[in-house]
Amino acid sequence: MEKEQKELLADKIGGLGQAHIEVLADMAQSFAESLDIDDTLRTALRKTMQYLDAEAGSVFLLVDNDEILECRASEGPVDITGLRLPAGQGIVGQTVQENDTLIIRDVSKSKSFNVAVDEDTGFQTRSILCAPLTVRGERLGALELINKQGSDGLFSDRDRSFLSALASSAALAMLNARMAADLVEQEKVRKELEMAREIQNSLLPPMPPQDAPIHGLNIPARGVSGDLYLFFPLSNGRLFFALGDVSGKGIHAALFMAKTVSLIRALAKLEHSPGKLFARLNDEIRETASRGMFITLAAGTFDPASGKVCMTNAGHEPPLFRNIDGEYVAYPADAPPLGILPDLVFEEVEIMLEGGALYLFTDGMTEGFDSEGQALGVAGVKAAIEQHQNLNPQARIQAMVEPLTDTDTQLRDDITLLVVEHQPIQVLAKIEVSALPTNLKGLRDGLREVLVENEIDKALVEKLVLAVGEAVMNVVQHGFDEGGAEGRITLEVCKERDGLLFRLMDNAPSMDPAEVTPRDLDDIRPGGLGTHFIRELMDSVEFMPPPAGSGNLLEMRKRIELL
């Protein structure tokens, strides 16, 4: 900035004496170093009045879309700070319009002079020297001096050159100060957007294991997103899922999204019927939505055991169901978005996935552009599904959106995608025993036989038998107080697409999964260390909501290639 100050001064100081130049250089340096431009302007105004022996002075800036000139600094007998004048009136207005430094030696002879200010303040203006505050073609306002004192009482051409140079230097400092303030504000907004995005991310589900039946992702177009997706288990063993798109953009849409997610989480745990849930959501959103905002939403429940989906669609993009044979069925909305009309009835549709997958997405997916500049469309979504069908659901949806995000083009809209996939389970064997330690050998022998029949590596067979046996022993020891004479334990050995699933069910009292933790390896007391071995051997160990009539359900998965 100092270089520009010097260049501007060089253009303006022709004919000025050394004393004038030194004063200008001093003031220009003050502008360049200033952290408070308003304070610096007031100081410069006072020094200029003293140097040019003026009775009063003021700085006017353009505001309100350059339609008003407002006094931002005032020195002299009368303080006119805050005075507002139409931008095209008065000597100040003429100076700004003509972008030229004006000398009015006798205001009584000037048609442009506005006598109203003198009449209101009681001050008498005799002569005026006014310079425009202009830099790089941008007009900012004007710097005005009033009533030259001493000698003949008239401002000179040298005064005019001095004030013109000072005004140019001040204008550059003001412009740079504005730019600096804008950068500070932009940085503040950026940090606030980052925080908002972090809060939004906390509302979205954490990434589940790769073998989970539901996966989703959200890619915001501009920092924060108006899209939402979520899924979580219900008390009846089913999973709830939802995907929606809030009207509008920016922070307001993001806040509405956050509020909607909270409503869904609270109400979906109380109302398991998607249609009835939507009716309650619609009423709540209509009561609290502002500026006519609404949300398109597709949501439902999924039973992993049967593969049954019960879904409702309110104004959203039709979800796509791909059956196990690669055929597609779309499910258009039969109701308007939530938050528009009162007293709506929302229909439910039932879909048996039977090894297929249901895809839900926002219009940011179908309307997004690929690397060739082509909108994906529904046909493109289907093609992406087929292209990546061999991947697990988590990797598949990531690969599906990659062509839309791997470009130099700014996303037109948020992209949100969710898949609900029924992973067919083939039950290889079901072994049921009473919860007595003496029965564990028979259970282990039966498990070993099943694994050998399915051509599992012999070394792995023994490890799996030991791990499952440890899990059963924990059930016997901790789940049944009296040795389990009336307790029952059921082991299902299942074949999945990418390995084996061991489902261990019992009729013991339900327990808190958080209490089932492995003991420290340094603790060498008998018992408890088997939990370490189970978790080390298996790829996932997770307590699930049990079927009706069961007390606890533990699922253990081992990913291996099966014939």
What is the predicted pLDDT for the residue at 546? 76
What is the predicted pLDDT for the residue at 92? 92
Q: CA nearest 105: which of 60, 145, 153?
A: 153
The C-alpha atoms of residue 453 and residue 449 are separated, in whole angstroms, by 6
Q: Residue 523: phi, psi to the nearest 5?
A: -85, 110
What is the predicted pLDDT for the residue at 9? 46
What is the predicted pLDDT for the residue at 405? 78
What is the predicted pLDDT for the residue at 257? 84
Burial (CB count within 10 angstroms: exposed 0-12, middle 13-18, buried 19+), residue 413? buried
Question: 3-class DSSP state for residue 372?
Answer: coil
Q: Which two tokens stand for residue 420?
A: 């609900």
What is the predicted pLDDT for the residue at 240? 96
The C-alpha atoms of residue 312 and residue 215 are separated, in whole angstroms, by 19
What is the predicted pLDDT for the residue at 83? 92
What is the predicted pLDDT for the residue at 529? 55
What is the predicted pLDDT for the residue at 431? 93
What is the predicted pLDDT for the residue at 23? 63
What is the predicted pLDDT for the residue at 27? 64
For the CA atoms of 531, 485, 544, 547, the dihedral, rounded to the nearest 10 degrees, stands at: 170
Question: CA torsion sign, 26 to 28 to 30 to 32?
Answer: negative
Question: CA torsion sign, 223 to 228 to 229 to 234?
Answer: positive
The C-alpha atoms of residue 243 and residue 417 are separated, in whole angstroms, by 8
The C-alpha atoms of residue 506 and residue 500 are separated, in whole angstroms, by 20
The C-alpha atoms of residue 107 and residue 94 are separated, in whole angstroms, by 13
Residues 6+ apart with CB under 8 A from 335: 278, 312, 313, 314, 315, 344, 345, 346, 347
Residues 6+ apart with CB under 8 A from 35: none
Q: Which residues of 178-214 are buried (b: 16+ CB within 10 A; e: fewer)?
A: eeeeeeeeeeeeeeebeebeeebeeebeeeeebbbbb
Across the chain, which has 563 residues, the per-10-residue mean pLDDT values are: 46 52 62 63 81 91 92 91 90 92 90 86 91 86 90 84 82 74 70 66 80 89 79 87 86 80 90 94 84 89 90 96 95 94 93 94 85 82 93 92 74 88 86 88 93 92 93 82 70 85 87 57 47 87 76 88 71
Q: CA nearest 435: which of 499, 531, 498, 505?
A: 505
For the CA atoms of 34, 37, 41, 43, the dihedral, rounded to the nearest 10 degrees, stands at: -50
The C-alpha atoms of residue 295 and residue 331 are separated, in whole angstroms, by 18
What is the predicted pLDDT for the residue at 516? 54
Q: CA nearest 24: which of 176, 157, 163?
A: 163
The C-alpha atoms of residue 385 and residue 379 are separated, in whole angstroms, by 10
The C-alpha atoms of residue 112 and residue 98 are separated, in whole angstroms, by 12
Q: Which two tokens stand for residue 259?
A: 């509020």
The mean pLDDT of the chain is 83
Place of tokens 């073609």: 137
What is the predicted pLDDT for the residue at 10? 44
Q: CA nearest 227: which of 158, 148, 296, 286?
A: 296
What is the arrangement of strands in the sheet containing 54-63, beginning at the earlier edge strand?
A: 84-86, 68-75, 54-63, 138-148, 128-135, 102-104
DSSP 388: T
DSSP 423: -
What is the predicted pLDDT for the residue at 183? 74
